[in-house]
Structure 1
Amino acid sequence: MQRVAAKAPASFAPQVKDTQKRLGLLFDHLNNGELVKPDTVEQLTKLALALESKDYPEAQRLQVEVQRDKTDECGNWMVGVKRLVQMSKVTN
C-alpha cells in the first residue's frame, strides 16, 4: 500500500485514503482472529505475495476467489483489497 500511495496521482488521494482505512479493518480482523475459515488467511497471504511479486492476474484471481467463496467473512475490508489489487496494477 505504501508503494501505491506514493505513486498514485493526487486526484486519487480520497480512494487511497479509503483503501488504507479498509485495509486497517482487515488487519483488525486478522489481529483479533476473526477470520475463521480454514484457508482464508492462507489465501490472503498468497494474495499479498502475488502483489509483492507483481503477479497481478494471480492476485486478482485470489481476490475474486476469496470474495466469492468467503462472503460471510468478507466485510468492508474486501473493497480495500480489491482496490489495492487494481491500484497496484496501474501504478506498477
Structure 2
Amino acid sequence: MSPSPTAPPKAPPPPSTDFRNATIENHWNDPPDAIFKKRERTAEENGNNNKHDRDSIAQAMRSILGQCESCFTSGPNKRIFQDTQGRINGMLEELEKNEIPDRVVQSLNEFSQALQDKDWTKSLDIHTRLMTTEYDKHGNWLIGLKRLVDLAQKASS
C-alpha cells in the first residue's frame, strides 16, 4: 500500500538528546549552597551548659514534686501523684545517666522554668511539642510531665 497522493509526507522523528548528564546552573529547584556548608556550633549546642541544665531540671522537678506531695496525701490524687512521681524519677535517672539528648534537655529546661513560673500554657505547649517528637523514646515519663502540670496547677490553686 503506497501513501496516498494527498497525504503530506511523513516528517522524520525529532532529534533525541540524552539529558541524564545535563547540568543547569541556578535552577529554580536547586537548594541554596548555605545548606551544604558546615556551620560553627555554639557553646550551648556543644553541651557546655548541659550539666548545669540537667542539675537545674532535676532540682526544679524535685521541688515541684515536693510541693505536690504535701497537697495530695489521700484519695485518688495520691495514687496519681505516686504514679507521676515514679515516672518523673525515671526521667531524672535517665537525665543523670545522660541518656536524654541535648535538644530534649533544652526543652525540659524551658518546661521546668515554665512550671516554676506557673506558666501553665507555656509548659503545656512545650509538653505537646515533646509528645509529638519524643513520645516513641520517652513516652513513659512524658505522661508523667503532663500529670505533673495538672497536679502543680491543682496544688497552686
Answer yes or no: same fold by TM over 0.5: yes
Cα deviation code 1:35-75 (max 9, x no counterpart): 12x41001001100100010011011111111111223313
Cα distance in 2 between the residues matched to 1:77 and 1:71 = 9
1:20 corresponds to which residue?
Answer: 85
- Identify the structure with the greater helix proportion: 1
**Alignment partner, residue 155 of structure 2:** 91
Count the aligned residue pairs: 91
Tell me which of 106, 111, 115 is aligned to 1:42. 106
- Unaligned 5+ segments in structure 1 are none
Paired with 2:96 and 2:116, the residues of 1 have a C-alpha distance of: 21
Matches within 5 A, 1:1-92: 1-8=65-72, 10-11=74-75, 12-36=77-101, 38-92=102-156
TM-score when scaled to structure 2? 0.55
Q: Residues of 2 paired with 1:57 and 1:90: CA distance?
A: 14
Per-residue displacement from partner, 1:64-92 (whole Å, max 9, x unpaired)? 11111122331311111110011111221
How much identity, in percent, do the aligned residues show? 23
Whichever residue aligns with residue 76 of structure 1, its letter is N
Gaps of 5+ in 2: 1-64
Aligned to 2:138, the other structure's residue is in SS state coil
Q: Tell whether the 8 Å contact from 2:115 to 2:149 is kept in structure 1 after alignment.
A: yes
The residue type equivalent to 2:110 in the other structure is: K
